[in-house]
Structure 1
């Protein structure tokens, strides 16, 4: 048995308890977790914003060491260091063959299949298919990305979601060019990764927007050239900082209607608005027909940074090794597994970057 943070019902707090993991079956891999990031998507699963079969082990931004493999596994071997991929592509469906593996039809299949049990035999489901808030987990080999053994696993964990999503939004979805102006609405773990990637892409100015003044210093350290507190004048201030036009590219990293409208209003005519944050199906965003026509903006949803982890993780690690992406600065708190429930509950008022669970 291993210890895990279990969600017994959506809306209830997590409880750390023993679970029973099976040996890996054909095509499966058992991973001993070293670290896992606490992501807002985990909170959305816990509170019912996103659907999740329960009881479940949440956590999806994880890194660890392969303990054992099932029959037919060729991708990794015991002892390999890996990141967990919570949206593993099948490489066979229409989207995968069309070069959009982040939209794979089967990427979410594992989340609806039990991967472990409670000691009484009750089936447990892996949150987002990975179940990373546990000492160990069992996943499909497709859900592992091998990384070099000299990359610190406790830092590499944040690559699995925050950095792939945030940096991918900049480098893949928006393809930001040198000299373009960028706005980032919401500077949590993903937003901070957007800031870093915008700096890497040569954007200028890079304007961070958040509701919490405590985030200013962190945002500036991650690449922002300006920091604004979100209010009714935010879009006007951004236009003043961008030759009255508005920003070339804006990123919304919260998933709220207000944040999306701020990102929309802050973009120039013909600009690109990228929605990265995961919002609720019960939170409509309204646009009138005239503004959609008149401003000529592009509004794009961004899932997992439009990334292919097998391709993008090695590229991002190259930037890390070159000192162009700062994983240490992204992690602003470290906790134990017993503290993960409190960390989830505190996410709406968190003033830092990523909180990391250390095993």
Structure 2
């Protein structure tokens, strides 16, 4: 089969379009013919080794540095070392074509989404393994996964539209679930035009929350159409515009130099939740804002058990809609990732094998 093999940490030259052996499913696994595979920050960050403690900048700066002078990082992946060479691809929409002898045969012929965040020790443990980060993923014509991680979806969305969902919407739903967002609360979403940010807006609105979104001026109208109460430019003085103590929950995957204002925006007893730091992982803030206001800071990586079933229900009920920024052939993955890093889009890009 054709696949994109990531050879190691570095630039786009580390992405090799080549022939590899088609995977064979084990007893508890299914083989999926990939119909579409989404592009996310996580694949770029893993290729760059961005998760290493040695990296102190945001994704865009790290990408430029690795393209100029690539370095191998032993701690550059989600779970420390990345198993190079391997096939990335966290988002998979596909059809089940084979099932192992102990797998659910009712999945055969069904269009499915794959729950990429897997909990090998059960949902009482936060240990995870990720498709496309810890083992071969969906940047290929075929992928094998545990049958328990393949979820049949009944809807009229295109394959590419469905492929925008797993990582971005799973991450957003997990943050809102973990932070226990309630109807009527006011939530601030940073990076609102990105895959996770735009998903968080829709899922927060589905819960009955009021959403304040932060994005760039040129994307404001597209973000506003997702149902936001207020859309602010990322250069705005947020405490001056919104008022200190005016937000119940901050959903932030940006971090970077503006992180320090987030605790000030939160009301007493408010919550801050994050699953990323595309603006830079090293931040500065006043810890007194945290303890004097009884704030809760929540980090999210491992998806909780209800998260993916909730997403499938939302899709099938028409409660959310996909934001497909564009598609690329699998062989043009470098072009797709370059376009992704330009940050001129709203939603997600998708690769078609």
TM-score range, shorter chain: 0.7 to 0.9
Is the counterpart of residue 208 in structure 1 residue 202 in structure 2?
no
How many residues were matched structurally?
320
2:96 to 53, 66, 70: 66
Cα–Cα, structure 1 residues 151 and 160, in superposed 2: closer, same or farther, change >3 Å? same
Contact 2:114 2:166 in 1 (8 A): yes
Q: Report how far residue 150 of structure 1 moved.
A: 5.3
State the Cα RMSD in Å: 2.5
Helix, strand or coil for the counterpart of 2:242? helix
Unaligned runs of 5+ in 2: 52-76
Aligned to 2:179: 174
- Find the aligned partners of 1:312 and 1:136 in 2 and give their Cα distance: 26
Matches within 5 A, 1:283-302: 283-302=281-300
Call closer, same or farther: CA 1:73–1:307 in 2, change over 3 Å.
closer
| 1:32, distance to aligned residue in structure 2 (A) | 0.5
1:310 and 1:168, CA in 2 relative to 1: closer, same or farther beyond 3 A?
Answer: closer
Equivalent of 2:135 in 116, 129, 133: 129
Shift in Å at residue 232 of structure 1? 6.5
Measure, in 2, the Cα distance between the counterparts of 1:332 and 1:276: 22
Equivalent position of 1:265 in the other structure? 264
Q: Which whole-Å CA distance do the structure 2 matches of 1:181 and 1:310 have between them?
A: 24
Q: For residues 275 and 219 of structure 1, what CA distance do their matches in structure 2 show?
A: 20
Instruction: Decide whether aligned partners of structure 1 residues 70 and 309 sit closer, same or farther in structure 2, where only a CA change above 3 A counts.
Output: farther
Equivalent in the alignment of 1:7: 6
Partners of 1:40 and 1:131 in 2: CA distance: 15
For the pair 1:40 / 2:41, whether they are aligned, the reply is yes
TM-score (norm 1): 0.80
* Structure 1 unaligned blocks of 5 or more: 112-125
CA-to-aligned-CA distance 1:201-241 (integer Å, 9 cap, x gap) = 2222x21113x3222122111122222222372232221xx
TM-score (norm 2): 0.82
Matches within 5 A, 1:50-199: 50=51, 51=77, 52-74=82-104, 76-90=106-120, 93=121, 96=123, 98=124, 103=126, 105=127, 107-108=128-129, 126-148=132-154, 152-170=158-176, 172-187=177-192, 188-199=194-205
Q: Secondary structure at the match of 1:161?
A: helix
Q: Which residue of 2 aligns with 1:312?
A: 310
- 1:23 and 2:17 are equivalent in the alignment: no
Q: 1:219 maps to what in 2?
A: 223
- 2:257/2:284 contact within 8 Å kept: no
User: Secondary structure at 1:61's aligned position in 2?
Assistant: coil
Give the direction of change, closer, same or farther, for the CA distance of 1:259–1:312 in structure 2 (3 Å limit): farther
| Closer, same or farther: CA 318–65 of 1 in aligned 2, 3 Å | closer
User: Alpha carbons of 1:344 and 1:295: their partners in 2 closer, same or farther (altered >3 Å)?
Assistant: same
Q: CA separation of 1:221/1:75 partners in 2, compared to 1, >3 Å: closer, same or farther?
A: farther
What CA distance in whole angstroms lies between the structure 2 residues aligned with 1:354 and 1:307? 24
CA distance in 1 between counterparts of 2:190 and 2:155 reads 35
Q: Is the 8 A contact 1:161 1:304 kept in 2?
A: no
- Equivalent residues of 2:9, 2:48 under 8 A apart: yes
